[in-house]
C-alpha cells in the first residue's frame, strides 16, 4: 500500500513538473513593434512563451492591484521612474536579485532593493537653435532660469511626468529651496504658456517662438529618422545639448524605461530570466531601435542617429528618489505658476 501511494505521489510530481507552463506574463506600457520582435526571439531562444498585455502605466498598475493574489502578471514594464514609484507605493512589486542584472545595469538605474531594473535610458536635454545660442555645450538647466533667457524658453506643462521627474531630480541634487527658485525663473522665461508635446517644443524652436526647449532626446531622433520630410528638415537645423556637462557639474538628467517583477508572479524564475535576456547586448539593440533610446547595457551599440548626438555624462542620483520627490516637485511647480 505504501509503495503504491509513493508511486502515485511520484507520478503526480512528474505530471505537475511536466505541465508547469513555460511562459511569462508581461504587462507593458511600451508599445513598439520591435519589442514584440524581441519577445519572439526570447521564446525562440528559451522556449518560454511571452504572453503580452498592453496598456497605460496607471491602467496596468490598477489592473494588477484589482487582480490581487490571483494576478497572472509576472513582469510590469513601464516608462519613467516617477511612474514606477506608483507601483512601489501600491506594494505590487517584489525584490528580485540577479548577478547578471547587477553587473549590466549601473546602480543609479536600478532600485537599491531590486524592486525594478532599468532597460533603456532617456535623456531630458535641451534643443537649441544654433544661430541664437552661443556656446551651447556649456548650457545648464539652471541657465534657462536666468534673466538672460527671458521669453526664450519652451517646455511642456507641469502635469507631464517627464518634467515632474526633472524637477524631482533637481530637488535631490540642489535641494528644494533652490529648485523652487529655479522653477520660478523658468516660468518667468517661458516664451509662451506650456502646450503640446516634446515635438511641438522642437518645432517652436525651429519657427522662432523660442530659442531653446527642454525635451527628451528621442523625440528629436525620431524626427531625424522618420519619413516626414518637414520634420526631418526642422530637426536637422537644430542642436541637441546635454546640459550640465562642465567639469564637476552633475551631468544631464536621465530617466529610464523599467521592468519590475510582480509580488504575486506565478513564474518568477521565468521573469528573472526574461529581464536578464532584455539586458543582453543583442536584445538591447531591439529595445533601443524602437524608440531611439540609449541602451542600459554599455556593451550594446548605439544607432547612428543618437551616436551623432555625441557623448555625455549623466546625473548620478539613484532614480528611486524621483518617485519619492514627485509630490514635492508637483507642489513646487504649482507654487511657481508652472501651468
Q: What is the pLDDT of residues 38-92, one digit of tens each?
A: 899 999 999 999 999 999 999 999 999 999 999 999 999 999 898 899 999 999 9
Residues 6+ apart with CB under 8 A from 62: none
> How many other C-beta atoms are found inside a 10 Å radius of the C-beta of residue 149?
21
Question: pLDDT tens, 195-214?
Answer: 999 999 999 999 999 999 99
Q: pLDDT at position 34, please?
A: 76
Question: pLDDT tens, 124-175?
Answer: 999 999 999 999 999 999 999 999 999 999 999 999 999 999 999 999 999 9
At residue 33, does pLDDT exceed 80? no
CA-based end-to-end distance of the chain: 77
Question: Could you give the C-alpha distances from 182 to 143, 176, 333, in angstroms and in order?
Answer: 9, 10, 10
Q: pLDDT at position 152, please?
A: 97
At residue 337, does pLDDT exceed 50? yes
Helix ranges (DSSP H) in 31-117: 33-46, 57-67, 81-90, 99-104
Q: pLDDT at position 226, please?
A: 87
Helix axes 176-189, 326-335, angle to 10 degrees: 40
Average pLDDT, rounded, for the chain: 91
Q: Span 226-230, mean pLDDT?
A: 91
Q: Of 84, 36, 37, 81, whose CA–CA distance to 60 is shortest?
A: 84
High-pLDDT (> 90) share of the chain, %: 85
Q: Span 273-284, mean pLDDT?
A: 95
The phi-psi region of residue 262 (left if phi > 0; otherwise alpha if psi is between -120 and 50; otherwise beta) is beta
How far, in Å, CA of 246 to CA of 114, rounded? Answer: 32
Work out the burial of residue 24: count CB atoms within 10 Å of its CB; fewer than 13 is exposed, 13-18 middle, 19 or more buried.
buried
Which structural domains are found in the chain, ordered by start? 23-121+255-304 (3.40.190.10), 122-252+322-335 (3.40.190.10)
High-pLDDT (> 70) share of the chain, %: 94
Of residues 13 and 303, which shows the higher confidence score?
303
Amino acid at each position: 500500500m505504501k509503495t503504491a501511494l509513493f508511486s502515485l505521489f511520484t507520478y503526480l510530481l512528474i505530471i505537475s513538473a511536466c505541465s508547469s507552463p513555460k511562459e511569462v506574463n508581461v504587462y507593458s506600457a511600451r508599445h513598439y513593434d520591435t519589442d514584440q520582435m524581441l519577445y519572439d526571439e526570447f521564446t525562440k531562444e528559451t522556449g518560454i512563451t511571452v504572453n503580452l498585455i498592453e496598456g497605460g502605466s496607471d491602467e496596468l498598475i490598477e489592473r494588477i492591484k484589482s487582480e490581487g493574489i490571483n494576478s497572472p502578471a509576472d513582469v510590469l514594464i513601464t516608462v519613467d521612474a516617477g511612474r514606477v514609484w506608483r507601483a512601489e507605493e501600491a506594494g505590487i512589486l517584489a525584490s528580485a536579485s540577479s548577478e547578471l542584472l547587477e553587473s549590466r545595469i549601473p546602480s543609479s538605474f536600478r532600485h537599491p532593493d531590486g524592486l525594478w531594473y532599468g532597460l533603456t535610458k532617456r535623456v531630458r536635454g535641451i534643443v537649441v537653435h544654433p544661430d541664437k545660442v552661443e556656446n551651447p555645450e556649456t548650457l545648464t538647466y539652471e541657465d534657462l532660469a536666468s534673466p538672460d533667457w527671458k521669453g526664450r524658453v519652451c517646455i511642456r506643462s507641469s502635469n507631464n511626468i517627464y518634467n515632474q521627474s526633472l524637477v524631482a531630480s533637481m530637488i535631490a541634487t540642489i535641494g528644494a529651496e533652490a529648485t523652487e527658485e529655479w522653477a520660478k525663473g523658468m516660468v518667468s522665461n517661458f516664451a509662451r504658456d506650456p502646450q503640446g508635446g516634446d515635438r511641438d517644443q522642437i518645432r517652436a524652436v525651429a519657427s522662432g517662438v523660442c530659442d531653446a526647449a527642454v525635451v527628451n532626446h528621442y523625440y528629436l531622433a525620431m524626427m531625424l529618422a522618420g519619413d516626414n520630410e518637414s520634420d526631418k528638415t526642422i530637426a536637422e537645423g537644430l542642436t541637441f545639448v546635454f546640459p550640465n556637462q562642465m567639469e564637476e557639474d552633475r551631468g544631464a538628467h536621465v530617466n529610464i524605461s523599467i521592468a519590475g517583477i510582480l509580488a504575486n508572479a506565478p513564474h518568477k524564475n521565468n521573469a528573472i530570466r526574461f529581464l536578464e535576456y532584455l539586458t543582453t547586448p543583442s536584445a538591447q539593440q531591439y529595445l533601443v531601435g524602437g524608440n531611439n533610446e540609449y541602451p542600459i547595457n554599455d556593451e550594446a551599440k548605439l544607432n547612428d542617429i543618437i551616436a551623432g548626438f555625441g557623448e555625455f555624462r549623466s546625473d548620478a542620483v539613484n532614480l528611486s528618489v524621483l518617485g519619492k520627490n514627485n509630490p514635492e516637485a508637483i507642489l513646487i511647480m504649482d507654487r511657481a505658476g508652472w501651468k
